[in-house]
């Protein structure tokens, strides 16, 4: 299966506190620098699971962009379709983690994916049409997402909403989406439903399905995931107990798991996503 992933590639700077974070103080921490970006992370996880992946991403014509491209090539990801922007810096994502691995705060400067133009995507029109599975994440603008969905033909597409700020970019395009992956906050943003109970989580699933999405997954952290599609009622699939070491990239791991099991039923897909996310969550930073 040929898979094309389109979206962000950037440098991640992750800081993990060694103790309880004290606001306004200098907190001892571990710091790491790594290749990241939602699309790049998904592509990397699929490649490590022996899938043939082409990544289309925009980076600046700068040292960080060169570093990212080398990292992806070393992993075996095809980077021939990268879009190099002379007037845009390569994206940087900075996250601060608590000592238990949970997120404290995150910041991103990722203008490169948003600088992609229709003319950039048009160069890869045939490549997009020839892929077996397309994965998009919402670091792209609504206009570019719409253009890609229009040219993909009948190829199946998985959308990762990425963040609350970016989730609205898919709101007017839901009828064109095969699989949509949201977390709790993103689902609340798109539906206006506060997910306080299981029944309200189900309502959010049905809201999304009713707007044209074929299958929706709402991840709920350690509570697992709720999934529904056009044929079956919403079901909950529990997460396995584990010791969380690093939450950064877990959402992309779940999306990669969905891609690995694309041809399976919705429960199996959910279990595949949870398994890959769990593997990622238990890794050291």
pLDDT digit string (tens) for 46-83? 999 999 999 999 999 999 999 999 999 999 998 999 99
Residue 261 within any structural domain of the chain? yes
Long-range CB contacts (within 8 A, 24+) of 112-115: 112/8, 112/10, 112/57, 112/58, 112/59, 112/60, 112/85, 112/88, 113/7, 113/8, 113/39, 113/57, 113/58, 113/139, 113/140, 114/139, 114/140, 114/141, 115/58, 115/85, 115/88
Indicate whether 2 and 131 sit together in one domain: yes
Instruction: Say whether both 171 and 238 belong to one domain.
Output: yes
Given a cut of 80, is residue 242 above it in pLDDT? no
Same structural domain for residues 268 and 208? yes
Shared domain for 129 and 187, answered yes or no, is no
Indicate the burial class of 177 (C-beta count within 10 angstroms; 0-12, 13-18, 19 or more).
buried
Return the higher-pLDDT residue of 204 and 251. Answer: 204
Indicate whether 243 and 283 sit together in one domain. yes
Position 141 in a domain:
no
Across 34-48, average pLDDT: 93
- CB count within 10 Å of CB 125 equals 14
* 179 and 263 part of one domain: yes
Same domain, 121 and 40: yes
- CB within 8 Å of 200: residues ≥ 6 apart: 193, 194
Domain holding 11, by residue range, is 1-135
3 and 130 part of one domain: yes
| pLDDT tens digits, 77-127 | 989 999 999 988 999 989 898 988 888 888 888 788 899 999 999 999 999
- Of 135, 164, 196, which one is at a domain's C-terminal end? 135
Domain co-membership, 213 together with 95:
no
Same domain, 125 and 161: no
**Does 1 map to a domain?**
yes
**Does some domain include residue 149?**
no
142 occurs within a structural domain: no
3-class DSSP state of 196: coil
Question: pLDDT tens digits, residue range 166-198?
Answer: 999 999 999 999 999 999 999 999 999 999 999
Alpha-carbon span 37 to 21, nearest angstrom: 26
For the record, the structure tokens of 24 come out as 């306004």
Select from 100, 135, 170 the last residue of a domain: 135
In a domain, 238, yes or no: yes
One domain for residues 165 and 121 = no
Q: How are beta strands 2-7 and 133-137 bridged, if at all?
A: parallel
CATH of residue 104's domain is 3.40.1190.20
Helix axes 266-281, 250-260, angle to 10 degrees: 140
- Same domain for 233 and 103: no
Residue 38 belongs to a domain: yes
* Overall domain count for the chain: 2
């Amino acid at each position: 299966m040929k898979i094309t992933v389109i979206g962000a590639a950037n440098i991640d700077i992750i800081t993990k506190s060694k103790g309880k974070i004290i606001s306004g103080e200098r907190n001892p921490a571990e710091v790491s620098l790594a290749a990241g970006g939602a699309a790049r992370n998904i592509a990397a996880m699929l490649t490590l699971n022996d899938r043939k992946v082409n990544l289309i991403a925009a980076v600046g014509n700068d040292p960080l962009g060169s570093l990212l491209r080398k990292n992806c090539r070393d992993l075996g990801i095809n980077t021939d379709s990268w879009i190099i922007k002379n007037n845009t810096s390569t994206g940087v994502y900075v996250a601060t983690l608590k000592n238990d691995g949970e997120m404290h705060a995150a910041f991103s400067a990722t203008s490169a994916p948003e600088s992609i133009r229709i003319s950039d995507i048009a160069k890869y029109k045939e490549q997009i049409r020839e892929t077996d599975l397309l994965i998009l994440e919402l670091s792209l603008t609504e206009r570019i997402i719409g253009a890609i969905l229009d040219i993909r033909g009948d190829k199946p597409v998985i959308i990762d909403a990425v963040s609350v700020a970016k989730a609205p970019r898919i709101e007017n395009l839901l009828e064109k989406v095969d699989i949509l992956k949201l977390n709790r906050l993103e689902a609340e943003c798109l539906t206006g439903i506060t997910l306080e109970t299981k029944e309200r989580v189900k309502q959010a699933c049905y809201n999304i399905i009713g707007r044209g999405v074929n299958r929706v997954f709402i991840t709920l952290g350690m509570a697992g995931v709720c999934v529904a599609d056009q044929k079956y009622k919403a079901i909950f699939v529990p997460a396995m107990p584990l010791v969380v070491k690093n939450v950064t990239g877990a959402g992309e791991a779940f999306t990669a798991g969905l891609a690995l099991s694309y041809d399976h039923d919705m429960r199996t897909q959910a279990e595949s996503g949870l398994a890959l996310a769990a593997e990622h969550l238990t890794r050291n930073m």
